[in-house]
Amino acid sequence: MALDTASLVPLYVSDAREHLEGMETAVVGLESAGGEADRRALLDELFRHLHSIKGGAAMLQIEPVSKLAHLGEELVIRVIRGKVPADAALVDLLLATRDGLSAMVERIALDEPVDGNASLLWRLGRAVAEDESGLLPGASAATADLPRGMRVTVHIDPRSALPAARALLSLRRLGALGTIAGTSPDRATIMQGALPSNILVVVMEGAVDQERVRSQLARVPDVVRVEVSDHETPPAPSSGDGAERLPTEPRTSLVPSAEQWVRVKMDLLDELLELSSELVLASSRLRERTRRLAVEERDTIENEADRLRLLVKQMSGRVLAARQAPVRHLADRLPRALRDLSRRLDRPLTLAVEGAETTLDRGLLESLTDPLLHVLRNCADHGIESPEERRRAGKPVEGRLVFAARRERDRVEIEIRDDGRGFDLVRLRRKAVEIGALSPAEADLLPDEGALRLAFLPGMSTRSTASEISGRGVGMDAVERAIEQLGGTVLLSSTPGKGSCVRFVLPATVSVVNLLLVGIAEDVYGIPLSRVVALGEGEPRRHEDGTMRVSVGGEQLPAHPLGRLLERPFDETPGVRPHLLVESAGRRAALGVDRVVGQEEAVLRPLARPFDRIRGLAGTAILGSGRPVVVLDLPKLVA
Amino acid sequence: MSKRVLIVDDGVFMRNMLNDILSSAGYSVVGEASHGLEAVAMHRSLHPDFVTMDIVMPHMNGIEATREIVAADPEALVIMCSALGQESLVMEAIEAGATDFIVKPFKSDEVLSVVRKVLGD
């Protein structure tokens, strides 16, 4: 019996992605692990993740993945046995392994061929080799085999986000100036993200104008030094043949923890949600009808109708709960981001996570990642003081950041706190006056809470010179707009010298709808695409029976200007215009609009009482542009 | 005359951020695209001086879009916006013709310094 591997691939991919997420958290946690027991627990977890990724890949016969995961496992065993130290170099290598596996998994997801990662395999091979030759290939071994010729040595800033990528850019620029005779490290190694000592050596064939070399390299960010010389020293014998050495010791077998989880497609959840909404409506209608029955019949039926309504509401609640996911998915990305920030800013930082199991609507998770990372960066960069300043202020040298999430009835609060210098209200006020948002007198009169909100003004410190940053709030207006689009708000608080807090307050449940945007005179309305059967252009003509009809989607349908249904002014000049084909209670109609504006996905915000009683309104939404629109419930309007 | 930029990213937050940063610095944002197909079309019709390009996007990703843009216009300047852990994708993008890159989360200083270097200012 042949295994139908094709159908298993999507499952493997989503499984692998979860393991890779878990791997990332565990690896970053390794660096700051408390004691032996904590470290061992993380290493065991790492092994489990790699083992799962390897197992699935082996079954699907995806060799590059199983090969890489296998070496990852071997490395973890070495660390467990104390043969390899759990230091920063190890963490870097494990992260590179995770990234390598992730790149492969994403290619599998796209049904594209998966390339092996020779450089990564080589690095892992060396790390697990018996002679314990260390994790970082030495720079001396690297420059061994270069030919003679003009030698350009490029030094990349070690704080650069991706030193190897900058090396590649340098290489390409030099390649445009002349023929490259050799490089160290070799191009393949660079392509895999390795740049030992952050140094690139390129040997050019023949003579190349030094000025051109320097001016080209000046255009590559993070290049801190360029040396040009004639290559005098003879090539040294090469060390290391780069061959893999796979250990043959038996593996420790670990039992993965059992958890009851079922994977469900997002579409299914959305369908369930829609169905349960319909059920709630239907059961309400039923209940209403029973009220009009003669008294004798009423009691029994009323009881049943009530029971039905209760059951439906319970089910509806469950379905809504299914849309919830723990905020952990969001929080798990932060440790690695923080580690990277700590390196780039050259500042020690720690992160504590509270309330990782707090749940919020899945639709929000993805949209929150970028704003959250941005706020984290702000806190790390502007909030946390330099180590010297912190020492003087009697604070621990490491900047403390906290991610906290909590649920309050119908909302979820997510905040990032830091123990830094707090918002600089003086600078905020000054900057607001500078950009012309306030007069000096107004700035003085502004109370502190108001001054904090100045951070949200467009232009506040997104404009900045190298040293004059306005104290805080880089891009806070973009953050606020993004959160408002999700139906939430952003609150800022701060204590000078002690720290500050950025809090997102979000609705607990969210529905994202795909909207067709139409214009009627000056107004723009949103219509859920799921309610539009077809869209066409036509000119309504009077039919024999006196009604106006238009041809849409091959059918002659009753035509109504949507503007008239909404009792709003619209363009009444005759002619061809867009029409939406809608269906209600089995009948179809064509609704005319003045223009089709576009299509957009947006968070549907339900209307509060008493507006939710208005027939034909589904709610409101804020578009990406920031414009609020009314969302129509067409079937109700047409009925 | 200010240099013109096309912003490409599938996230509204990122597009807004980059728009804020670049406009405040005096660049003229001539368009925003939310995926690769839009990006290629808009580059062809708008001829911006440079492009900021997200990598992972629906319909057509940033690497493919960069490849097509550079094929049509070898002088095109494309700056990739990558998330953490996507180094190999950045490499792929560079091989596809990207001029440089920035890594999220970024500061406006970083963005502007890369943009200035890319434009040769």
A179-229 per-position pLDDT tens digit = 988 898 888 778 877 788 889 999 988 888 889 999 999 999 999 999 988
Q: Which of B10, B12, B55 to mutate to test the interface with A (most CBs of A within 10 A)?
A: B12
Q: How many CA atoms lie within 13 A of A6 on its CB side?
A: 2
Taking only the tens place, the pLDDT of each residue in B12-22 is: 889 988 988 89
* Percent of chain B residues past pLDDT 90, beyond the cut: 66
pLDDT averaged over chain B? 92
Nearest to A69 by CA among A85, A54, A88: A54
Q: Does residue A319 carry a pLDDT above 90?
A: no
Residues in chain A: 639
Which residues numbered 325-364 in A keep a CB inside 8 Å of some CB on B?
A: 333, 336-337, 340-341
pLDDT averaged over chain A? 81
Which residues numbered 17-46 in A keep a CB inside 8 Å of some CB on B?
A: 24
Confidence of residue A618 (pLDDT cuts 50, 70, 90): confident
Q: Is A564 on the interface with B (CB under 8 A)?
A: no
Phi (first) and psi of residue A14, to 5 degrees: -70, -35
Task: Give A246 to chain B, closest Cα distance, Å.
Answer: 25
DSSP A382: I
* Least CB–CB distance from A478: residue in B13, B25, B113: B13
Q: Does A624 contact B15 at a Cβ distance shorter than 8 Å?
A: yes
Q: Is residue A346 within 8 Å of A433, Cβ to Cβ? A: no
Q: Does A474 contact B85 at a Cβ distance shorter than 8 Å?
A: no
Q: Does residue A463 carry a pLDDT above 60?
A: no
Tell me the whole-structure pTM to 2 decimals: 0.69
- Cα separation, A419 vs A380, in Å, equals 10
pLDDT of residue B117: 93
Q: Does A370 contact B13 at a Cβ distance shorter than 8 Å?
A: yes
pLDDT of residue A110: 84
- Cα separation, A524 vs A543, in Å, equals 30
Q: Is residue B9 within 8 Å of B39, Cβ to Cβ? A: no
Confidence of residue A346 (pLDDT cuts 50, 70, 90): confident
Q: Does B105 contact A370 at a Cβ distance shorter than 8 Å?
A: yes
Q: Is A505 on the interface with B (CB under 8 A)?
A: no
Which segment of A42-46, A431-435, B99-103 scores lowest on mean pLDDT?
A431-435
pLDDT of residue B40: 96
Q: Spell A470-509 as b/e; 16+ CB within 10 A means b.
A: bbbbbbbbbbbbbbbbbbbebebbbeeeebbbbbbbbbbb
Instruction: Please indicate whether residue A450 or residue B64 has the higher confidence score (pLDDT).
Output: B64
* Percent of chain A residues past pLDDT 90, beyond the cut: 27
Confidence of residue A355 (pLDDT cuts 50, 70, 90): very high
Taking only the tens place, the pLDDT of each residue in A519-534 is: 999 999 999 887 888 8
- Cα separation, B65 vs B44, in Å, equals 12
Which segment of A507-511, A548-552, B59-63 scores lowest on mean pLDDT?
A507-511
Mean pLDDT of A49-64: 89
DSSP A198: G
Burial of A433 (0-12, 13-18, 19+ CB in 10 A): middle
Residues of B with CB under 8 A from a CB of A: 11-17, 20-21, 24-25, 82, 84-91, 94-95, 99-109, 113-114, 117-118, 120
Distances (CA, A) of A285 to A271, A281, A313, B110: 21, 6, 14, 59
* Least CB–CB distance from B24: residue in A220, A462, A481: A462
Q: Which of B9, B15, B17 to mutate to test the interface with A (most CBs of A within 10 A)?
A: B17
At B57, list the tokens: 């996007």
Task: Give A537 to chain B, closest Cα distance, Å.
Answer: 24
Taking only the tens place, the pLDDT of each residue in A535-565 is: 889 899 988 888 889 988 778 889 999 999 8
Q: Does residue A339 carry a pLDDT above 60?
A: yes
* Percent of chain A residues past pLDDT 70, beyond the cut: 88
- Cα separation, A417 vs A492, in Å, equals 10
pLDDT of residue A260: 52
Confidence of residue A416 (pLDDT cuts 50, 70, 90): very high
Q: Which amino acid is at A560?
A: H
Q: Does A162 contact B84 at a Cβ distance shorter than 8 Å?
A: no
Q: Does B103 contact A478 at a Cβ distance shorter than 8 Å?
A: no
Q: Is A466 on the interface with B (CB under 8 A)?
A: yes
- Cα separation, B107 vs B97, in Å, equals 24
- Cα separation, A280 vs A286, in Å, equals 10
pLDDT of residue A76: 92
DSSP H or E segment with residue A303: helix A295-322
